[in-house]
Chain A
Amino acid sequence: MARFVIRRLLQSAVVLLGVTLVVFLLLQLVPGDPVRVALGTRFDPQTYEALRARAGLDQPLVVQYFDYLRRALTGDLGVSFRSGRPVTAIVLERLPATLSLAVTAVLFAVVIAFPLGIVSAIRSGSLVDHAARVFSQFGVSVPDFWMGIMAILLFSGVLGWLPPSGYVALTEDPGRWASHVALPAATVGLVTASILTRFVRSSMLEVLSEDYVRTAEAKGLRTRVVVLRHVLRNALIPVVTVVAVQLASLLGGVIVIEVLFAWPGIGRLTYDAVAARDYPVLQGAVLLVAALFLLVNLVVDILYARLDPRITVK
């Protein structure tokens, strides 16, 4: 187990190093001088030189990279070209909004997908099964931002039940937070649920055909016990990975939904940084998201090993 954890840690570290290189190179790929581009009409020589020096752009490339890496390791991701504030602080203050949206959406998805996937596997070929398959095909194909627009149209425009956009912090007013998070979370959650439903269903079907399930039936156990104790536990082990990958990609990937619902999270920050050509903020957001993504994957792999006793021994 310890060796497995160490190996996975090393792997993740190597990938993370690659990630920093990609993120670093992003700035180099900007055609022309990124600082000049970013400043645009606000150009004045003094600010320009200060920002260039702060970003280390007057150094050779290799030196710049190791400098970037060294500072990133100490949590210094540079300063915003726009506001001059530290990128780390800017990115971190957006984290709660994204986190609360992503977690709510994944919970929503799990609550729908698990029962639906389980029932459609157990009653394979039934009406529920067909409905589940239509649902998952719909969810995999629908653009979530379109569904978001439709949801705003219905729940906010026609019915007037929920605010069309905006954000209230959970810590500030849980009730108003909930009413604001409902639409974006449901929108993202439905798409995630449709993906999860497929995985739960196919994983369940695979386990249902295992010999040990027949063994459990031969013991005369109740169907509920067979499903809960013998099928579910085995079927959900691989699904856990998928849930986590979904969560991880939501943590940085809900750009469009955050823009649509004016949700001030990492995605919205990324969008604003792109529009303002604030490259250090863009780099910081991308780096943070990729690091989170890797971290979640690492945790999942270890969790997976804990859930499946076979892996610990190997």
Chain B
Amino acid sequence: MKPVLAVEDLTVTIDTRRGPARAVAGVDWAVRPGETLALVGESGSGKSMSVLAATGLAPRTARVSGRIHLLDTELTGLPEQRRRRLRGRHVGFVFQDPMTSLNPVLTVGRQVVEAAQEHLGLTRRAARSRAVELLDLVGIPSAGQRVDAYPHQFSGGMRQRVVIAMALACEPDLLIADEPTTALDVTTQAQIVELVADLQRRLGTAVVWITHDLGVVAGIADTVAVMYAGRILEQGPVDAVFGAPSHPYTRALLAARPDPAAGDADLVTIAGAPPSPLDLPPGCAFWPRCPVRGDARCEHEMPPLVPVSAGHQVRTFYPQATDRRD
């Protein structure tokens, strides 16, 4: 099946006051209809930026290169005008914080159907009933009344449902969920994950799920790509990556996963910090924190992405090595 969205050799460089910062460096991934791709990494790993750049939402100071295919269209070099229409019509977005991603002075109903009015030319009356329908779809009780309420009249979880309804307004082929549960409390998190999974089954939408929470990934993703300092370190079918994690970073992430019974989602506890995107090392960016610690090659030479099994690739010189425990 042809991918809904695919990027090849995607590179994003952001011009900052202190020089160019390479946020994404030569990334390839694809998501097929009905599938869920999980992009996993710490903040600043380039997971969000690669998606924003692919859909034309990168900041104005960002330079984007590589090939981006959305459905049958090559997006690179396309005028913003055309990209904008594709973006609203075929891709829906759910952002991290539902408290800030809704406009406080417009009713939720208006915001939910805005994209449909823009791209599908809905009449005023049709728009309203569509808004009620969408709010109902995402499980907002008494949607017929709530459609005229303002965002501040909703709880965080309910707002995120509104945002999801908004993203689905044009029945997009692809839903991009950028850490949609991070800002919510634990029980609400589970409800939102369940809601998206359910909607995906019913509507057949492809999903790119951006997260640092591997627990979520195991439950909903078909494929997973682990990113670090702007590059993919490991990617493949979720069973393969979780069953046989081949990159020391992936293993560290899995090991740092909290006990689900303990509940707390705050996980990554690998010593050290990722390098600055302003000053990336020539070799493997994870080398300073790596528990395998190969040789000087790791420090000076970028490991290639090599296959370990069907569709499962890893960027390391030592795919078979075991971690040292100091």
Contact = CB atoms under 8 A, between A and B. Distances in A.
B84 interface: yes
B93 A218 contact: yes
Interface string A138-172: 00000000000000000000000000000000000
Interface in B295-320: none
B100 interface: yes
Given A218-B93, A219-B88, A220-B87, A212 B103 contact: yes
A281 B57 CA distance: 62
B95 interface: yes
Contact of A214 (B89, B92, B95, B115): B95
Interface stretch (A11-19, A253-261, A304-312): A304-312
Interface residues of B, number: 30
Contacts of A241: none
A230 interface: yes
A230 B103 CA distance: 7
B105 interface: yes
B57 A309 contact: no
Among B55, B105, B153, the one with the most A-chain Cβ atoms within 10 Å of its Cβ is B105
B118 A307 contact: no
B57 A212 contact: no
A220 B1 CA distance: 26
B210 to A, nearest CB: 13
Among A220, A308, A310, the one with the most B-chain Cβ atoms within 10 Å of its Cβ is A220
A310 B104 contact: yes
A173 interface: no
Given A219-B166, A225-B118, A233 B101 contact: no
Nearest to B115: A219
A210 B100 contact: yes
A234 interface: yes
Contacts of B57: 214, 217-218
Among A212, A219, A310, the one with the most B-chain Cβ atoms within 10 Å of its Cβ is A219
Contacts of A222: 84, 118
Given A210-B100, A308-B105, A221 B150 contact: no
Consensus secondary structure, chain A interface: helix
A290 B115 CA distance: 48
A220 B89 contact: yes
B176 to A, nearest CB: 8
B99 to A, nearest CB: 9
A307 B87 contact: no
Interface residues of A, number: 23
A313 interface: yes
Contacts of A313: 152-153
B95 to A, nearest CB: 6
A185 B125 CA distance: 46
Contacts of A218: 55, 57, 87-88, 91-93, 95
Nearest to B163: A215
A309 B105 contact: yes
B103 A310 contact: no
A212 B92 CA distance: 14
Contacts of B280: none
Given A211-B97, A310-B152, A234 B102 contact: no
Interface of B: 55, 57, 84-89, 91-93, 95, 97, 100-106, 114-115, 118-119, 150, 152-153, 163, 166, 169
Closest 7 CB pairs of A and B: A220-B88, A218-B93, A219-B115, A211-B100, A220-B87, A212-B103, A309-B150
19 contacts: A210-B100, A212-B100, A212-B102, A215-B103, A216-B103, A218-B93, A219-B88, A219-B114, A219-B118, A219-B169, A220-B85, A220-B87, A220-B88, A220-B118, A221-B88, A222-B84, A230-B103, A313-B152, A313-B153
